Amino acid sequence: MSLPLVSIVIPSYKPAHFEQCLRSAIGQTYPNIEILVSDNCPTDAIETICRQFPSVIYQRCPVKRTDNVLAALFSAKGELIKPLFDDDLLHPFCVERMVAALRSASDVELVFSASQVINIDNQRTETRRPYEAHGSLTGREMHRIMTLGMRNFVGEFSSILFRREKLWKIGTRDMFRFGGHDFTSGLADLAFYCQVAEGGSAFYIDEELTYFRRDDRLASNSNASANPDFGYCFSDYIDLLVASYATGVITAAELAGMREQVQALAARLGAVFPQVSASCERYLSFLETLQAKQTEPPKKSTRKPAAKAAKPRNLLVDTPA
């Protein structure tokens, strides 16, 4: 059986842990891999490291943050794509296990696994294990659980593998958008997962195959002090509710049933992150408009009743001889 080409794509900016990250990609047991580094580092530190490994595909990228991620993903040549951020690590069996899971059924569009949070010394600090057994769930079910639970149990981009065909079908313009909302500044990963798995299923592997690094010294999106858009990571959960209703994933009753949680989130975080208060106001306004429409009496028709149609002729009886 042929093994599909897998592209491990590494959008890069921070050189501090990059060589460990790159070596974890090179050290995969899966044999058919290309490794692509998209480098936006302000120095030549990442390029210098890449020169040590001739098999690595290196590209200098002039754009930052999300645009660098897009540049890396859409440069991939593999049938399957495995993202990896520049300070995270992969278990040696990561790609091998994920490819097997994706190929276990034709409707699997997204694969993710249990993961481990590590610190600057590679010490484990937190195990993330959303389920206690391997298994799959429909993309719609995954979307609903994350929306109504207001949590991303899939994890960061480093924790997934997906089909390149689906990436190109979504396209760059809509990759982080749906239901009339742009999630680029906050829950870009979650919005992407929902779109990738739509119409198919997601497969969970109950093994620690990825390692997500938290280093408060680095300019990471997960650090509130370094990311000016950090508040959107919370406010986007509120906007996700409205977007999910707009796309038919949750019902009006479910949308209204989240009012207490939304208001509690705004009360807790609104003073720190103004985005949360703004999203709460949009949610309440949308809910008020929706409920007003539902209680609106039906309008009486002003159209005149149609004239009674003439009885059709029976051609066997009424046709003159």
Hey, where are the domains in the chain? 6-213, 232-294
Place of tokens 């206690």: 132
Give the model's pLDDT for residue 1.
60
> Whole-angstrom Cα distance, residue 24 to residue 26?
6
Does position 21 have pLDDT exceeding 60, yes or no? yes
CA distance 7 to 277: 40
Instruction: Please check the confidence at residue 159 and state whether its pLDDT lies above 70.
Output: yes
Q: Is the pLDDT of residue 315 over 90?
A: no
Q: Are 87 and 18 in contact (CB under 8 A)?
A: yes
Nearest Cα neighbor of 51 from 61, 63, 60 is 60
What integer pLDDT is reported at residue 75 of this predicted model? 92
Structure tokens at 95: 């790609």
CA atoms within 13 A on the CB side of 213: 23
- Per-residue tokens: 213: 């690094």
Q: What percent of the chain has pLDDT over 90?
A: 75
Instruction: State yes or no: pLDDT of 306 exceeds 60.
Output: no
Pick from 152, 143, 170, 155: nearest CA to 245: 143
Angle at 30 between CA 57 and CA 89, to 5 degrees: 65
| Residue range 43-70: mean pLDDT, rounded | 90
The answer, yes or no, to whether residue 205 has pLDDT greater than 90, is yes
Give the closest residue to 169 by CA, choosing from 145, 198, 142.
198
CA dist., res. 241 & res. 71, Å (int)? 29
Domain with residues 6-213, CATH architecture: Alpha-Beta Complex (3.90)
Nearest Cα residue to 158 out of 214, 78, 237 = 214
Confidence band of 147 (pLDDT split at 50, 70, 90): very high
Distance CA 146, CA 237 (A): 9
The answer on pLDDT for 175 being more than 60 is yes
Helix (H, G, I), strand (E, B) or coil at 33: strand
Who has greater pLDDT, 287 or 223? 287
C-alpha span between 85 and 24 (Å, rounded): 11
Spell out the residues 6+ positions from residue 154 whose beta carbon is closer than 8 angstroms to its own: 110, 112, 130, 142, 146, 160, 189, 190, 193, 202
